Amino acid sequence: MIDNPETVADTRALLERGGYLAGEALATAVFLALKLERPLLLEGEAGVGKTEIARVLAAVLGRDLVRLQCYEGLGLAEAAYEWNYQRQLLHIRAAEAAGLGVAQNGESAAGRMEREIYGADFLLKRPLLKSIEPTAVGKPPVLLIDELDRADEPFEAFLLEFLADYQMTIPELGTIKAERPPITILTSNRTREVHDAVRRRCFYHWVEFPSAARELAIVKLKVPQAPGELTRQLVAFVQALRAMDLYKTPGIAESINWAQALTSLDCVALDPERIDSTIGTLLKYQDDIARIRGSEAARLLEEVKSRTREAGLAAEETS
């Protein structure tokens, strides 16, 4: 396990060691979140690498990763804790069968039973509670609250209190407070606006789609076995798709998946037939696939080849 980075440059280097190429602004946001122990809210289109930040931080810093996947209807029982009612019932029945339902040492049987079944052994800990408890590695975990925009507004209200003090009150046990706050990453795909009060408690960064140069570097890093010409054409093709009005624009995750798929098929360069047969790796909606497959894919590929040839000639002239 290593300590938090001391500078923004150290943060970029740390993330790169985990296979994440971050720009200056994102590295600065991550550095400040680590330095000042504040939550970091990352917004952006799906597939631009928001969730991956939390995974990489956990891996390179040697911390546990505690993930809370948000969804409509998410409540306290799924996010924080709930009592194991089935186990409590079994305990009560076992005690009654053993004849333990009598007063002992001045304590009534009912009182003793209530104290027992509302002890820590009967508590089911969910991600938020786990994130503020001591860990085996001795340092707080990375808490990923993923796709917060999918949760209902009442859950955000509960989250406000949690993010303010990193503590939780369980009526039967009292207040549990983190000795040090977990490294907290919240993500949102902006399907709805996250409440201003949550934003005020966080550092904020909008994660853009990467530039062609950065995406080329990312694909080379993630799929090093991919042929160079294939990688260049693939990135240019994806960048061209992002300029179109598609129902779902492919993210960097789709670019990596496509590179892996084409490499597995021993492709060394794009061709129309291979694009048509693998387009489902890149586009996830039939309307988009129907629009691109065939003549449109061939047209885009010709543009991509023309641009990559021009780029290659320009590079030769300057070398």
Contact criterion met (CB below 8 Å) for 72 and 151: yes
The SS3 of residue 231 is helix
Contacts of 81 (CB under 8 A, 6+ apart): 123, 124, 125, 126, 129, 168, 170
Contact criterion met (CB below 8 Å) for 62 and 150: no
Q: What are 317's two structure tokens? A: 């002239």
Q: In the chain, at which residue ranges do the beta strands (DSSP E only) sit?
A: 40-44, 65-69, 81-83, 123-125, 142-146, 167-170, 174-177, 183-188, 203-207
Q: What gap in Å lies between CA 138 and CA 87, rounded to an integer?
A: 30
Q: What gap in Å lies between CA 308 and CA 311, rounded to an integer?
A: 5
Half-sphere exposure of residue 248: CA atoms within 13 angstroms, side-chain side: 20
Q: What digits encode the pLDDT tens for the residues 118-139?
A: 888 899 999 999 999 888 778 8
| Residue tagged 């546990």 (tokens) | 64
pLDDT at 113: 79
Amino acid identity of 316? E
pLDDT at 319: 56
pLDDT at 95: 80
Task: Report which secondary-structure segment, H or E, holds 208.
Answer: none
pLDDT beneath 70: ranges in the chain: 1-2, 100-107, 312-319
Amino acid identity of 242? R
Q: What gap in Å lies between CA 15 and CA 60, rounded to an integer?
A: 7
Which residues on neighbouring strands pair with residue 140, listed in sequence order?
Answer: none
Give the chain's end-to-end CA distance (angstroms, integer).
44
Contact criterion met (CB below 8 Å) for 182 and 34: no
Q: What gap in Å lies between CA 243 and CA 250, rounded to an integer?
A: 11
Q: What digits encode the pLDDT tens for the residues 231-257?
A: 999 999 999 999 999 999 999 999 999
pLDDT at 318: 60
